[in-house]
Structure 1
Amino acid sequence: MTIVSGPVPASDVSLPTGRRWRVPGLNGVGWIGYASAVIIVLAIIVAVFGPLLAPFPPNESNLSHAFVGATGSHPLGFDSQGRDLLSRLLVGARSSMLGAFIVTAVAIIAGTALAVLAAWRRGWTDSVISSGSDLVFAFPGLLLAVLGAAVFGPSQWSAALALAVAYTPYVARIVRGAALRERSLPYIEALEVQGSGAWSIAIRHLIPNIAPLLVAQATILFGWAALDLAAVSFLGLGVQPPQADWGVMVSEGETGVLQGFPAESFVAGAALVLVIVSFNILGERLNDKQGRERS
């Protein structure tokens, strides 16, 4: 054994490097997507269990507590009617998320069906569906929601169905391209030669193969639907007071903002922005992933 006295040259020393707490494949952008997914999960949990989590009845009013700030048992304070803001925020998540879910589900199902039909039949069927989609594109979603409220009366459901009609052409146009690419692949012709029917092939093979694209579009669509429904409720054409809803809370909080008590509009608006941005970020991440896989 050789004993070396004195300092050891730096070139002969292999210093251990410190541990880096990093998740493989996650950079700064990846962490943002991960945080968005966590926020979305928490928002869904609140939407499902909000009425059970609310510490007080959301519509219980006490005018003597109007615009009172945060207290120990009321961490967000009270609104203009003396109602607990935290309870209304938790309960309002359900109507805000449910309406967006209905819009997204109807638009994805109807848009996918139209896109697959156009891609499969082509010819005049494709032309008619494309022309009809262009016609609906001429009407903004909010305008259709206002027309729906005028015809069927102000409610969350009339606004949601009107917005679903407005979003369906958007879904159909995007899915049509993917369906056309899938329709041209050899396995479709092989299944037809084996005697499989058109709808059997579409439902059992074509649609499952484009499902990742549908998930990405649904995620983006959900965020925009939540924003549009909140705007409709803000205008008084969607969810009707005194039902708790984030759009209604932003509208009712205008009085407080003018009087120097912006808490109601602020907390509801912040919740909307957080959820909408999270859905959009996650949807864009999924879209980018699909684009890389296709290329």
Structure 2
Amino acid sequence: MAITFSRKDFRGLAGVGRLGQLSLAIILLAAFLAVFGSSLAPFPPDQADLGNAYVTADGTHWLGFDSQGRDLFSRLLVGARSSMLGPLLVVALAMTAGSVLAVVAAWRRGWLDSVISGIGDIVFAFPGLLLAVLTAAVFGPSQLSAALSLAVAYTPYVARLVRAAALRERSLSYVEALEVQGSSAWVICLRHIVVNIAPVLVAEATILFGWATLDLAAISFLGLGVQPPQADWGVMVSEGKTGVLQGFPAESLVAGTALVLVVVAFNLLGERLAEVGT
């Protein structure tokens, strides 16, 4: 049986509207900086010179210097990599684990569905940031441990949404027809159900990326994620606290603005994609 899709599923960029397209442009810029930011940085991001501490912007140093005399523009560019790679790892792990569990639960139903849903409810009730704190206490602070703990915390969110979409798809007549034709459960799930709920998966992954970006920045701000002197937007906001109190808010301001723009862009684009895919 051939798979058919509604026209609404593939309206492309026009379907998300101008606000969605602007959000996508911001996301693509952040992705570009994550890949090429280190090459574009005009100065080494960790090169400190206390004689330049809090020196304001000029024609060479566009954003000025931080408390240790490091070029803020270079640190902003280089920090995009860790600020984007961490959420990417979280989303990849959570979407994969959550989608697999959800599709299996929706297909098998019965006791297996109840067990998966019950375990998900238990994990769902455990705050992701608290899990990250506990993980850092056991394994030490790092971006990897923070990303893994958030992926575990996000998996039940993904599983709930994907399970609902998979159950709707499972109840359609074409699934029964495929079973009658002798198609295996793996073929039906992977080649039909998962493909048909792909718009839901893409929208959820986009929104989840925004959440992960914000949560990982908060974890780095607390000193449990990316560790100084590595350039990272969350670390920059944290290290800029002293400057804010002394009247030099540039470091926290530029990093915080970058985070806000990226998080809002992912959330807005995710909402538009969800509207297009429903």
Listed one character per residue, the Cα deviations across residues 97-119 of structure 1 (whole Å, up to 9, x for unaligned) are 00000001111000000000100
Supply the AA of the counterpart residue of 1:238: G
Quick check: 167-176 or 195-204, which moved more? 195-204
Q: CA deviation at 1:30?
A: 2.5
The alpha carbon displacement at 1:124 in A equals 0.4
Q: Which of residues 251, 268, 271 in structure 2 aligns to 1:284? A: 271
- Deviation, 1:26, is 7.1
Q: Which amino acid aligns with 1:175?
A: V
Give me the whole-angstrom Cα distance separating, in 1, the residues matched to 2:258 and 2:226.
Answer: 17
Give the structure 1 partner of residue 188 of structure 2: 201
State the Cα distance separating 1:86 from its structure 2 match.
Answer: 0.4
C-alpha distance in 2 between matches for 1:26 and 1:131: 40
Q: Identity of aligned pairs, percent?
A: 73
29-38 vs 67-76, greater mean Cα deviation: 29-38
2:8 match = none
**1:166 maps to amino acid:** A
Is 2:34 aligned against 1:43? no
TM-score, with normalisation over the residues of structure 1? 0.88
**Aligned with 1:107 (options 80, 94, 118):** 94
Match of 1:8? none
2:67 aligned counterpart, secondary structure: coil
Please give the per-residue CA displacement for 1:166-219, whole angstroms capped at 9, x wherever unaligned: 000000000001101111112212222222211122111111111111000000
Whichever residue aligns with residue 212 of structure 1, its letter is P
Match of 2:221 in 1: 234
Equivalents in 2 of 1:60, 1:204: separation in Å?
52
In 2, the alpha carbon distance for the partners of 1:277 and 1:190 equals 43
The aligned residue for residue 19 of structure 1 is none
Q: Which runs of 5+ in 2 are unaligned?
A: 1-12
What's the secondary structure of 1:55's corresponding residue? coil
Q: Deviations over 1:224-249 (max 9, x none)?
A: 00000000000000000000000000
- Partner residue, 1:223: 210
Which amino acid in 1 is paired with 2:213?
A
**How far apart, CA to CA, are the structure 2 residues paired with 1:276 and 1:43?**
11
**Match of 1:59, SS?**
coil
Moved over 6 A (4+): none
- Between the aligned partners of 2:133 and 2:125, the Cα distance in structure 1 is 15
SS at match of 2:147: helix
Q: Are residues 1:265 and 2:252 paired?
A: yes
Q: Distance in 2 between matches of 1:155 and 1:60?
A: 22
CA-to-partner distance for each residue in 1:69-114, whole Å, 9 max, x for gaps? 0011100000001000000000000001000000011110000000
Say which structure, 1 or 2, has more relative contact order (CA 8 Å, 6+ apart). 2
Please identify which structure carries the higher helix content.
2
Which amino acid in the other structure matches residue 226 of structure 1? T
Equivalent of residue 145 in structure 1, options 108, 124, 132: 132
Figure out how many residues of one structure are paired with residues of the other and give that number.
266
Give a deviation string over 1:235-275, Cα, whole Å, max 9, x none.
00000000000000000000111111000000000000000
**AA aligned opposite 2:260:** V
- The residue aligned with 2:169 is 182
Query: Who is 1:11 aligned against?
Result: none
For 1:246 and 1:227, locate their aligned partners in 2 and report how far apart those are by CA, in whole Å: 10
Name the SS for the 2:230 alignment partner: coil
The structure number with the bigger radius of gyration is 1
Alignment root-mean-square deviation, CA: 1.4
* Counterpart residue identity of residue 224, structure 2: L
Q: Which amino acid aligns with 2:42?
A: P
Matched, 1:121 2:108: yes
SS of corresponding position for 2:59 = coil
- Partner residue of 2:142? 155
